[in-house]
Amino acid sequence: MDIQVKQQGNDGLQFHLSNNSVSLVIETVTDGYIFLRHFGKKINQYNASNWAQFIDRAFSPGPYADNRCFSLDTQRQVYATSGMGDFRYPAIMISNEKDMGLDLRFQSYEIIEEIVKLTGLPSSHADKKAAKTLRLTLVDDVLAIHVKLFYTVFTDTSVIATHVEVTNNGTQPYVIEKIHSAMLDLEHSNYELIELAGAYAREKTFQKTPLKQGLMSVNSRRGASSHQATPFTCLATPTTNEEQGEVIGMHLVYSGDFEAGVFVDQLQKTRMFIGLNHETFHWNLAPKQTFTAPEALITYTNQGFGAMTRDMHHFVSNHILNGVYQKALRPILLNNWEATYFDFDESKILALADKAVEVGIELLVLDDGWFGKRDDDNSSLGDWFLHEKKLPKGLESLVEQVNEKGLQFGIWVEPEMISVDSELYRSHPDWCLHMANRDHLYSRNQLVLDLSRVDVQEYLIDAMSKVCTSANISYVKWDMNRNMTCVASALRQYGVKEISHRYMLGLYRILTSLTAKFPHILFESCSGGGGRYDLGMLAYMPQTWTSDNTDAVCRLQIQYGTSFIYPVITMGAHVSAVPNHQVGRITSLQTRGAIAMAGNLGYELDLTQLPQIELDEIEKQVQTYKAIRPIIQQGDLYRLLNPTTTPNETAFMYVDKDKTAAVITYCQVLAQAESPTVVLRLKGLDETASYIDMETKKSYGGDELMYVGLTIPLERTDFYAVTFHFEKC
């Protein structure tokens, strides 16, 4: 890890940030213009082998009357503005009634011997000696606008963290109309754009599209990162696969509206970007005020998607997740939702607890319906007090009985929402997001609380604190089941396009308070499943409910896409009943268990209605998972067969950090006549060691397993899955 600064001639500086695998080179030139020279594979030193050519390009203007060759429109910029001759997609736009241009020039730099934490926003963290930051200050002297760019390199990862601060040092107010957290100008456009798209119950679908001239965007305008999009994108060379090829990635540590993508210009150069979505964002920047944009991460590898994945998993586990559960093994849970829905009482919950103990489950979760008068999804959100008709002896009594059986206890909440049929709404109808003189828009019969308001934030901190102290609660599932509409505040304190971002700042303030108050609680984020599965939420809640779709076959695609950037230890995966409640498919309990064990295992079905043979099988699954849980949750992931390229087959592999154990999961979707035999070449093992198959007790060399392969038993059945467990001799 290093940041080198070299003098370039009389008025230029070169900044070279590097660690063991990546280099970022930035140069300043005449009159304070600043350009990107290299981002990619680590180089020892930069001597301008790719020297910039200044050519007279038609319709590309420049600042010098006597030099038609110099134009910002044709150079690789570090942080592009609008109105100053660069017609490509800008990273920042600032305006007032008189001016809409921004002419940023380099003023100064500082090297900081640690990471710089963001105030009020989630961001990465590192030990003091494990990171180093370069701060570049750019200034528009006419507008007195100062922009500070921060770049942090780490000792243990190729990831570079970056964020932007904008300060109004003048006397006039301005509006930030657009701001990106990261931007990279690249030399060519021979890439494919990778995104994780989807829909509710079909999240994180891997998609790739060849670049073309113009704008290609991935975005959300829903008030959340969303089921439909993910605040991540990467560029990959066309031949890239799991093991080889260049990959350049961008991630936003944020949970609200965002945009990411590329702009390919007329010279086939590519501008890559990620940041707040300008369609739903404006910020009024008064004199002497500073605005901080969310943190972004930029990554590079020339060793394919697998290397990018493992580096991101390592980074998220070590630099994004926080607290007691940063690396702690996750408990195996039983959630009552699909077992009872809203129809439960104390006796039903305790009967489920008894069965959970029998099969070795560790945590019982009480889902929706325990509060207010909540007997369906039409009422009571906001009324965070006990539904006494269902639990007349009280929550504390129920939890004590569950704890006495040897189970931890968890509870479901949806704090950001409000029902019109609630005591909270009747007391505070102005607390929801709504536009003056317009009727409400409903989704799932609920409205969204206005978290831009401090009084609403204080209410939720108090209400959730009371929930968390009402009994011995060790797990909280924090749900959010609708997207934002009518995004305006009754207080009218801020511009209407500020509200969605101020909502996120309010949410982060609430989560900062609660996670500090209750460090022993495992918080799991949920938004109808994966509707807000992002790095921003993971900074507070180290686990996410991956999808409401628990069908094992659907989960192959969902968990594959999720695994692309998010560690397995963050990914909730449950065994549910069949026919599956989302798609109606019938799969074997073995297959459902094998796919759920590829994440954080849980169960979401009525154990009291299962025959003993199935309870015995679940008990065996739980015992198996406890043995392999450290390998899956804390090991390195290798995707052996991908459902995007081999739709009928999927195979994942997990290897612990010391290469002493491995788990392989293989799934066949549909049986085929005269299907070929499958031999999987394993990855990530110690090729000098021997490994024992813990089922058959046969021993194989690591080199044999990797270079000869492991035969998968041929099964003539649909929806077949099998798990292998190897331990080093």
Instruction: Residue 441: give its domain's CATH number.
Output: 3.20.20.70
**524/421 same-domain check:** yes
C-alpha dihedral sign at 565, 568, 570, 575:
positive
Q: Which of helix, strand or coil describes residue 626?
A: helix
Amino acid at 39: F
pLDDT, residue 52, reads 85
Between CA 130 and CA 128 the distance in angstroms is 6
Question: In the block, which residue shows the tokens 């004590």?
Answer: 400
Quote the CA–CA distance of 241 and 639 in Å, as a whole number.
Answer: 11
Residue 682, in any domain of the structure = yes
Tokens 């921003």, located at residue: 536
Cβ atoms of 558 and 203 within 8 Å: the answer is: yes
- Residue 443, pLDDT score: 94
Is the distance from CB of 524 to CB of 540 less than 8 angstroms? no
Same domain, 504 and 376: yes
Place of tokens 């549910």: 576
Any domain includes 204: yes
Residue 555, in any domain of the structure: no
Residue 611 lies in a domain: no
Token pair 């910020």 is found at: 283
* CA gap 327, 580 in Å, rounded: 32
Q: Are residues 316 and 348 in the same domain?
A: no
What does the pLDDT look like over 242-286, one tens digit per residue? Answer: 999 999 999 999 999 999 999 999 999 999 999 999 999 999 999
Structure confidence at residue 121 (pLDDT): 98
Q: What angle do CA 615, 618, 624 make, to 5 degrees?
A: 145
Do 298 and 340 fall into the same domain? Answer: no
Q: Give the count of beta carbons closer than 10 Å to the beta carbon of residue 572.
A: 25
Angle 544-546-547 from CA coordinates, rounded to 5°: 135
pLDDT at 171 over 90: yes
What does the block give as tokens for 673?
Answer: 């006549």
Look up the CATH number of the domain holding residue 714: 2.60.40.1180
Structural domain of residue 71, as residue ranges? 2-320
Quick check: helix, strand or coil at residue 450?
A: coil
The identity of residue 600, as a single letter, is: N
Q: Quick check: 97 pLDDT over 90?
A: no
Cα 300 from Cα 250, distance rounded (Å): 9
706 to 409, 655, 677: CA distances (angstroms): 42, 13, 17
Contact 512, 540 (CB under 8 A): yes
Taking the C-alpha atoms of residue 553 and residue 568, their distance in angstroms, rounded to an integer, is 18
Confidence of residue 9 (pLDDT cuts 50, 70, 90): confident
* Confidence (pLDDT) at 345: 97
The runs of H, that is alpha helices, within 205-250 are none
Largest Cα separation within the chain, whole Å, is 87
Instruction: Sort strands 22-28 and 408-413 into parallel, antiparallel or unpaired.
Output: unpaired
pLDDT tens readout for residues 444-485: 999 999 999 999 999 999 999 999 999 999 999 999 999 999
Range in 93-107, 322-336, 622-636 the model is least confident about: 93-107
Residue 728: what are its φ and ψ, rounded to 5°? -65, 140
Examine the domain organization and report whether 264 and 374 are in the same domain. no
Q: What is the dihedral of CA 236, 239, 241, 245, to 10 degrees?
A: -60
- Residue identified by tokens 């807000």 is 532
CA distances 311 to 17, 41, 236, 276, Å, are: 18, 14, 16, 25
Say if 203 falls within a structural domain: yes
Q: Is residue 281 part of a domain?
A: yes
Residue 51, pLDDT score: 87
343 given a catalytic annotation: no
Residue 568 pLDDT? 97
Last residue in a domain, options 531, 549, 568: 531
Residues facing residue 615 across a β-bridge: none
Residue 423 is inside which H or E element, if any?
Answer: helix 423-427
Whether the link from the prior residue into 173 is cis, omega within 30° of 0, is no
Query: Judging by DSSP bridges, how do beta strands 12-18 and 22-28 pair with one another?
Result: antiparallel
What are the structure tokens assigned to 330, written together?
């996750």
Strand partners, 213: none
At 430-443, the pLDDT tens digits run 999 999 999 999 99
User: Half-sphere exposure of 211 toward its Cβ, with a 13 Å CA cutoff?
Assistant: 27
Contact of 380 with 421, CB cutoff 8 Å: yes
210-234: pLDDT as tens digits: 999 999 999 999 999 999 999 999 9
Asked whether residue 290 falls in the same domain as residue 346, the answer is no
Domain co-membership, 295 together with 353: no
> Which stretches does DSSP call E strand in 435-589?
447-448, 475-478, 522-525, 543-545, 571-576
Band of pLDDT at residue 23, cut at 50, 70 and 90: very high
List Cα–Cα distances, 314 to 39, 71, 250, 311, in angstroms: 21, 41, 16, 5
Q: Which residues pair with 643 in a beta bridge?
A: none
Residue type for 346, please? E
Both 264 and 369 in one domain: the answer is no
> Tokens at residue 182, please?
């990261």
Query: Mean pLDDT, to the nearest integer, of 3-7?
Result: 95
The continuous run of DSSP H or E covering 290 comes out as strand 290-292
Q: What is the pLDDT of residues 27-54, one digit of tens each?
A: 999 899 999 999 999 999 999 999 888 9
| Span 496-501, average pLDDT | 96
- Could you tell me the pTM of the whole model? 0.97
Q: Are residues 208 and 130 in the same domain?
A: yes
The residue from 140, 479, 534, 656 that is catalytic is 479
Co-location of 315 and 451 in the same domain: no
Is residue 548 flagged as an active site residue?
A: yes
Show the tokens assigned to 295: 């943190």
Centre a 10 Å sphere on the Cβ of residue 16 and count the other Cβ atoms it contains: 21
d(CA 274, CA 137): 20
| Dihedral sign from CA coordinates of 641, 646, 647, 649 | negative
The gap between the terminal CA atoms of the chain, to the nearest Å, is 36
Q: Is 259 helix (H, G, I), strand (E, B) or coil?
A: strand
Distance, in Å, from the CA atom of 416 to the CA atom of 509, rounded to the nearest integer, reads: 13
Statement to judge: residues 358 and 254 lie in one domain: no
Catalytic residue among 140, 185, 548, 656: 548
- Do 166 and 294 share a structural domain? yes
Rounded to whole angstroms, what are the CA distances from 478 to 162, 321, 345? Answer: 29, 17, 22
Of 269, 294, 320, the last residue of a domain is 320
Number of compact structural domains in the chain: 3
Domain limit, last residue, from 294, 320, 346: 320
Of the candidates 240, 231, 158, the one whose C-alpha atom is nearest the C-alpha of residue 197 is 231
What confidence category does residue 312 fall into, taking pLDDT thresholds of 50, 70 and 90? very high
- Averaged confidence pLDDT in the chain: 97
> Would you say residue 631 lies in a domain?
no
**CATH code, domain carrying 271:** 2.70.98.60
The reply to whether 571 falls in a domain is no
Q: pLDDT band at 98, cuts 50/70/90?
A: confident
Task: Please give the average per-residue pLDDT across 541-547, as a whole number.
Answer: 98
CB count in 10 Å sphere of residue 623: 11
| pLDDT confidence bin for 8, thresholds 50/70/90 | confident
The encoded tokens of residue 664 equal 């392989």
Angle at Cα 519 formed by Cα 123 and Cα 546, nearest 5°? 65
Q: Which residues pair with 185 in a beta bridge?
A: 271
